[in-house]
Structure 1
């Protein structure tokens, strides 16, 4: 007769909240084999099996596939910890992303309770994060990027969101004004047009305090060549506005 260290699938299910169907599947693929199976095919799990199951559940929360979890149990302690370390970084990334969402929702509920949530801004989180990563890779060793990072560190998360909202409003106002000039057939080389680039420069300096004419030239290239920026600038505006602004920037910095 089995001692109290063995449990039926139903008992394991109650303890761990894992369905008996899942336990059977884990058995079939060899991930969690019951320590004892009697002559009638009844399965019994030892307390050590439950400990292993808890490890499996933990690894699943780290987004490891069942195949990778099987491989995990075959590794040395050093290699196991290397796997955990790799997935730890991913979990930190997910946590930070969730914190951003929480901050945005908090900002919306406090400051815009009588308005419907702006999904464009909500979806902008992923885009902004991608831009930050790309900027770090491309310009991480430049004075411009360091100026940007130093500027961001002086704000808490809520202040960053407020600053970003205000900056985005300024960008949109600038784009609308430039779009009107384009629609009114003003040339990008016209002084009346390119003098507005001074406004763009001031907006950029809210994010990158040391932004100068060379930085403006970088932005001109970005507006022309990065489809994501072009799409954002031209949204509900002239399809060539991004190119128009780039030409105006070059006229301004001549």
Structure 2
């Protein structure tokens, strides 16, 4: 399909499709003869993914990062989107109830407390984005674990020793500022170590998400903090800074 046809099919404006192309979010083939944008079936499916994530309040930059991630799994994404849309539905229904109650309150039929007036509102964070972070972080960890499981016992023991040495080194800088050159050099070494060990499966985004899991998952926290108290919290911040700066 050409741009106008896709716009008519989806309701997304031509201008928006051109913008998606410009920022590299949805880049169709160009007709060699006339330069028109030509959208394939794969592009149409990708646009559907973009719109699902957009409906869940993901910024375009984050959507691009997710779709470009080599660990992106469309089937997993669809299951996640369904789950999160149901959560959003529940929030909207709660807000509609609050709205109905507010109308009654204005008419003098009921009296609402101040707390009741804000039932259903939540601006503290984007729970959908946090869920996706955790999910794709988990996917990378599963992939890494699978690789380790297929190793011989001798290789697994050697890997454990090298991992322990890596975490001992990280623990030695845990009391420094996570933004310091010393801390960032250690974290950079860790990033390259993980990819050298597991076959380049960690993007910068996945690396930052892994740091989040070090604190969010008690199993990670317990194992990591045995090398030094507070190491998991330090790594979460330092890994996020490294990913952002690179």
TM-score normalised to structure 1 length = 0.38
More contact order relative to length (CA 8 Å, sep ≥ 6): 2
Q: Highest Rg: 1 or 2? A: 1
Q: Name the TM-score, length of structure 2 as normaliser.
A: 0.39
